[in-house]
Amino acid sequence: MFKILNAQFIAPGIKRFVIDAPRIARKQRPGQFVIIRVNETGERIPLTIEKSDPEKGTVNIVVQSIGKTTHLLNSLETGDNILDMVGPLGKPSEIENFGTVVVMGGGVGTAMAYPTASALKRAGNRVITIIGGRNKDLVLLESEMREVSDTVFVTTDDGSYADKGLVTDKLRQLIENGTRIDLVLAVGPIPMMRAVADMTRKERIKTIVSLNPIMIDGTGMCGGCRVLVEGKSEFACVDGPEFDAHRVDFAVLVQRNSMYREAEKRSMDDYVHQCELEKQKAAAPAESEVVCALEEKK
Amino acid sequence: MSTPPTPKTPPKKSSNPLANKDRMKLPRQHMLEQDPQVRNKCFTEVNLGYSPELARQEALRCIECAKPACVDTCPVGVKVKDFVQLIIDGDYLGAAAKIREDNVLPAITGRVCPQEDHCEAGCLLNKKGQSLGIGYLERFVADYERQHFDLKNIVKAPPTGKKVAIVGSGPSGLTAAGDLVAKGHQVHVFEALHEIGGVLVYGIPEFRLPKAIIREQVDYMRAMGVEFETDVVVGRTITIDELFEDEGYDAVFIGTGAGLPQFMGIPGEHLNGVYSANEFLTRINLMHSYEFPKYDQPLVDFRGRNVAVIGGGNTALDAIRSSLRLGAGKAFMLYRRSEAEMPARIEEVKHAKEEGIEFQMLAAPLEFLDDGKGWLKGARCQKMELGEPDSSGRRRPVPIPGSEYEIPLAVAVMAIGTTANPIIRHTTPGLATNKRGYIEASETTQKTSRRGVFAGGDIVTGGATVILAMGAGRRAAKAINEFLVSGEW
């Protein structure tokens, strides 16, 4: 059991958990992740580590409500427990002084990019950060990123905050302005990472992406997280999660991530239905105190 | 719960009333089984066990060899003759205690051990007909113990003050843990997954080895004093060096098991619907995907669809028999050699055939075919014939030119073996591994190149069996005990 010491929504549908996990906190390096299982009947899913505090023995994870498991997780509050959390998994990011690094974060991907940006800055790099979201509320960790970056650009799809457009628009501008870029790190939705890869491939800028395929054990045992890298299968949990963006077959990644779409929808529908029932029960005088995440989002 | 057991010493004289020639006339007693057409639709256990009467009838067949080969051929050296005698005496708990002197997981080995390769291969009765049903008898005794033995009656050894870390809770780790705790050492088992048992839990399906039985065997070990910690990936969550330096362990046993699943490297293996056996079985066994949506981990829909497993071992059979239970329309095995070369247990092959699995022998896929949307729609296969024996001693499959054919498939499961997991190798300086990445360990003591570090099971040998891993766990425990007592490496 892993105790939640603090749980707070940092954006609509996006929650930050501070979790008591001393072993993981002590070992976590930028670029690594955890796998959690919420309860006895739960699935195992990989999640982003935003940062950890080895002294306090805490690990921060940032979770966006998407399917049943993430909704269920985001219904948990300070003082609740997560049944299983294992990590830190995956290879840590390669940290050295590359020169000028552009760190790009889309949505919750920003949380994954943040510890690497921070380490790259400490290693002496000039860090240019580009973060984006669909709208103002979904731009995450801006102030944290400002602390570890030389420059921060923010974009929103709808223009509700900062520059209207995509993070890739900003990257293109930097390239067109003749900014010398030695490395790009992009973490976010697959279409964003793919677009970055396409853009930097032409410019021959080394580009790293952090992939989040379907995963079960996270130790290399099951092979479910295999990604096609230059025609060869590699496992995101032990060979990644970071890969050379120019070698990754993004089409296969998209296809494999869609494998359980129907089942995921069914789980989510059942969960929503369950939440409705709980709500009705709560309306009537009842002993149930389950608070539904869906309700909170409204 | 029963009254405390009073383990008896084996009687000096045989209590078997039959003369040897009459014993040899007795037929081998059949295991009671669920009907094939019932069991192939559910995950409950196939074998139903012996009744006490059947167990006695079978035990009476033992001819009590002066030099019992059944014991010598057992990788952990279970005293077969002695426990069989205790069954005839009706002292089932005594028989269980006798098995436990050498084997801490009797209810598990009684179910999954390939007895025909070990104890039953050594049995002299083979010369006159069928060997003694040693596995069935072991299972009977172990199940009796599960139901009648009170864990409060376990006597713990006086503590030695020495601490041993066991990395991995599969068969080798559990065996080493059991033997070491019996010597009074403090034993802490680290498991990467959320359940204890390693391959026993994620690899072997419920219909062959019910999870409740694993939990009970683990509870027994808890009662012996073994500590268990889940959700720790040694090499990531803590390193081998940190186990010594920060946590004060005096010795470490690495039993991390089979590694990364192998793929064939043929086109289309990334298609949706192509699984590794490890992933498929982990979803079913560890994550209960067959109970979706009660359990959240999903699986593709098998109902009424064609499923093939590529491979010929126990894992392949577990996977294809699971597919049938998930409702597969047609379930077949594609194996590149013939049935004679299949490494699977004989009983599993028999069960699979009864259940309706189709065996396509001497065939291998060349390519998996895309339905145009990223999903598997079939396989292009090739027929094989057997050539000269290869390094494994089995006849090598040779492709027959022009024999290509296509089969429609919705799911394919690759059960063609594993390669070494790199995590511990990459995070443990000075730990010698061979060119295939497996840990180098002594065959007699399981000692590695690092002082205080021992290793055994699949991470040393590559994919093998539960009982061979247990044998390695036993050898390691003996050597670890000697190391802890003498301090000499």
The complex's ipTM works out to: 0.91
CATH of the domain at B233: 3.50.50.60
Q: How far apart are CA A248 and CA B216, in angstroms?
A: 45
pLDDT tens for B431-489 read 999 999 999 999 999 999 999 999 999 999 998 999 999 999 999 999 999 999 999 99
Instruction: Give yes or no: residues B92 and B40 share one domain.
Output: yes
Does a structural domain hold residue B14? Answer: no
Smallest CA–CA distance from A237 into chain B, residue: B423
Given this model, what pLDDT does residue B1 score?
A: 41
Instruction: Give yes or no: residues B133 and B181 share one domain.
Output: no
Among B128, B124, B132, smallest CA distance to B66 is for B124
Q: Which residues pair with A19 in a beta bridge?
A: A4, A59
Q: What share of chain B is helix, strand, coil (3-state, %, to 5)?
A: 35, 20, 45
Torsions phi, psi for B441 (to 5 deg): -145, 150
Does a structural domain hold residue B4? Answer: no
Does a structural domain hold residue B379? Answer: yes
Among A114, A143, A120, smallest CA distance to A51 is for A114
Tell me the nearest-neighbour CA distance from B325 into chain A, angstroms: 19
Tell me the nearest-neighbour CA distance from A92 into chain B, angstroms: 10
Tell me the nearest-neighbour CA distance from A96 into chain B, angstroms: 20
Does a structural domain hold residue B245? Answer: yes
Instruction: Give yes or no: residues B392 and B274 share one domain.
Output: yes
Per-residue pLDDT for B194 more than 80? yes
The pTM assigned to this predicted structure is: 0.92
CATH of the domain at B47: 1.10.1060.10
**pLDDT confidence band for A49 (50 / 70 / 90):** very high
Task: Select the residue from B194, B232, B262, B416 to test the A interface by mutation, using most A Cβ atoms within 10 A.
Answer: B194
Instruction: Give yes or no: residues B389 and B282 share one domain.
Output: yes
Q: How far apart are CA A209 and CA A243, in angstroms?
A: 6
Per-residue pLDDT for A296 more than 80? no
**pLDDT confidence band for A32 (50 / 70 / 90):** very high
Per-residue pLDDT for B134 more than 50? yes
Q: Report the DSSP pairing between strands A33-37 and A84-89.
A: antiparallel
Contact with chain A for residue B272, Cβ under 8 A: yes
Given B418, B434, B456, the domain boundary residue is B418
Q: What is the four-CA torsion angle of B233, B234, B237, B238, rounded to 10 degrees? A: 170
Instruction: Give yes or no: residues B280 and B410 share one domain.
Output: yes
B236–A27 CB contact, under 8 Å = yes
Instruction: Give yes or no: residues B291 and B437 share one domain.
Output: no
Mean pLDDT estimate for chain A: 93
Helix B80-88 crosses helix B92-100 at what angle (to 10 degrees)?
170
Tell me the nearest-neighbour CA distance from B168 into chain A, angstroms: 12
Does a structural domain hold residue B184? Answer: yes
Choose the closest CB to A68 out of B192, B202, B296.
Answer: B296
Given this model, what pLDDT does residue B10 score?
A: 52
B298–A264 CB contact, under 8 Å = yes
Given B131, B149, B167, the domain boundary residue is B149
- φ/ψ region of B124 (left if φ > 0, alpha if ψ in -120 to 50, else beta) reads alpha
Cβ B366 vs Cβ B381: under 8 Å:
yes
Q: How far apart are CA B279 and CA B309, in angstroms?
A: 13
Given B383, B400, B418, the domain boundary residue is B418
Instruction: Give yes or no: residues B446 and B413 share one domain.
Output: no
A223–B236 CB contact, under 8 Å = no
Across residues A30-37, what is the average pLDDT?
97
Q: How far apart are CA B449 and CA B478, in angstroms?
A: 18
pLDDT tens for B330-362 read 999 999 999 999 989 888 899 999 999 999 999
B237–A266 CB contact, under 8 Å = no
Does a structural domain hold residue B424? Answer: yes
Per-residue pLDDT for B3 more than 80? no
Q: How far apart are CA A76 and CA A296, in angstroms?
A: 11
Lowest mean pLDDT among A90-94, A257-261, A290-294: A290-294
E-assigned strand segments in chain A: 2-11, 14-20, 33-37, 44-53, 58-64, 81-82, 84-89, 100-106, 126-133, 151-156, 163-164, 183-187, 207-210, 226-229, 232-235, 242-244
The number of C-alpha atoms within 13 Å of A253 and in the hemisphere containing its C-beta is 25
Per-residue pLDDT for B285 more than 50? yes
Given this model, what pLDDT does residue B339 score?
A: 93
The range of the structural domain enclosing residue B270 comes to 261-418
Instruction: Give yes or no: residues B459 and B327 share one domain.
Output: no
Residues contacting residue B251 through CB under 8 Å, at least 6 positions apart = B162, B163, B164, B165, B452, B453, B454, B480, B483, B484
Given this model, what pLDDT does residue A297 score?
A: 45
Instruction: Give yes or no: residues B388 and B244 share one domain.
Output: no
- φ/ψ region of B25 (left if φ > 0, alpha if ψ in -120 to 50, else beta) reads alpha
Per-residue pLDDT for A63 more than 60? yes
Instruction: Give yes or no: residues B135 and B37 share one domain.
Output: yes
Does a structural domain hold residue B229? Answer: yes
B374–A264 CB contact, under 8 Å = no
Instruction: Give yes or no: residues B119 and B178 share one domain.
Output: no
Instruction: Give how many domains chain B has, as a whole number.
Output: 3
Take residue A56 and report the two structure tokens written for it.
Answer: 């306090």
Instruction: Give yes or no: residues B369 and B443 share one domain.
Output: no
Does a structural domain hold residue B322? Answer: yes
Q: Which residues of A touch B (CB under 8 A)?
A: 23-24, 27, 37, 41-44, 68-69, 83-89, 216-224, 226, 228, 232-233, 235, 238, 249, 252, 255-256, 258-260, 262-264, 266-267, 270
